[in-house]
Amino acid sequence: MSTATAESQLLLDLATSVGREAAALVRRLRPEGRVPVADTKTSATDPVTAIDRASEELIRARVAAARPGDGFLGEEGDTVVGTSGVEWVVDPIDGTVNFMYGVPAYAVSIAARRGDQVLAGFVVNVADGREWGATLGGGAFRLDGTPRRVAAPAPPPVAHLLVATGFGYEPEVRAAQGESVARLLPQVRDVRRVGAAALDLCALAEGTVDAYVEQGLHPWDLAAGGLVATEAGVLLAGLDGPPDRRLVMGAHPDVAAEYFALVRACGF
């Protein structure tokens, strides 16, 4: 095993144990019925709950104890600049609206990166226990039960793609996204808006959707699931290079060029 791979595996092992502990905490703290909103962020419909914060605090504490020199970028707290060159990129609950309402698709998403390179990523759907993990160059795996490799299956033609997408929280942004999706919808099989980007990217990795497009993703929505997708053989792209806040498109290499051109033609 190369040193880089060994380091990535150590990072994935830590992400997995901390992610499982955070998922157990989220499960334990979730009350019956609707979870109350503690605060809002980018708009009145962008919620944070006390349990998002508790999950992030636990992840921060465990990572700081195990690797005190690392940086930390989390959705709900202050950024920590580290000294080791490794930075953790964490969404303590991706799919907070699903979590609030009890829609069973919300995840803990933990990645470790060096510069722009994501080295390890772990995603767990808290509601059903499915887990995905990946290391850079080491492949993508389902980690619940016996670990098994994840590889994106050969896709259907573009006109038959099942496309996952999502919307930002700001009203003007989502109005524009809705118009782009309306143009895409008649040209593919169908569209899914599950409500957790990390889970969308893991679904793309294992072929429970065929393609993905979203604008406005934050690093913590993208980092772990993005590595799972690319290590499963999916191509991810952005507006003019790697995916970023402006645009994330993903598809199997067999249809990627045609699908990406369609996405751009639809106005994304």
Residue 167, interface with ligand IPD (CB under 6 A)? Answer: yes
Q: What is the CA radius of gyration of the chain?
A: 18
Residue 166, interface with ligand IPD (CB under 6 A)? Answer: yes
Q: Quick one: which of 26, 89, 217, 237 contacts ligand IPD (CB under 6 A)?
A: 217
CA dist 61 and 163 (Å) reads 37
Q: How far is the CB of 167 from ligand IPD (least distance, A)?
A: 5
Give the residue with the Cβ less far from ligand IPD, 131 or 214: 214
Give the residue with the Cβ less far from ligand IPD, 166 or 226: 166
Q: Quick one: which of 87, 91, 131, 206 contacts ligand IPD (CB under 6 A)?
A: 91
Give the residue with the Cβ less far from ligand IPD, 134 or 213: 213
CA dist 32 and 160 (Å) reads 39
CA dist 136 and 145 (Å) reads 22
Neighbours of 214 (CB within 10 A): 23
Q: How far is the CB of 58 from ligand IPD (least distance, A)?
A: 16
In this structure, which long-range contacts are made by residues 260-263, counting pairs with CB atoms below 8 Å and at least 24 apart in sequence?
262/158, 262/184, 262/187, 262/188, 263/184, 263/213
Map residue 247 onto helix, strand or coil. Answer: strand
Binding mask 187-216 for ligand IPD (x = CB under 6 A): --------xxx----------------x-x
Q: Quick one: which of 138, 168, 226, 250 contacts ligand IPD (CB under 6 A)?
A: 168
**Interface with ligand IPD: number of residues (CB under 6 A):** 15
For 206-227, what is the HEC assignment? Answer: HCCCCEEEECCCCHHHHHHHHH
Q: Quick one: which of 70, 131, 210, 221 contacts ligand IPD (CB under 6 A)?
A: 221
CA dihedral 251→6→106→58, nearest 10 degrees, is -150
Q: Quick one: which of 95, 133, 226, 243 contacts ligand IPD (CB under 6 A)?
A: 95
Residues that bind ligand IPD (CB under 6 A): 75, 91, 94-96, 166-168, 195-197, 214, 216-217, 221
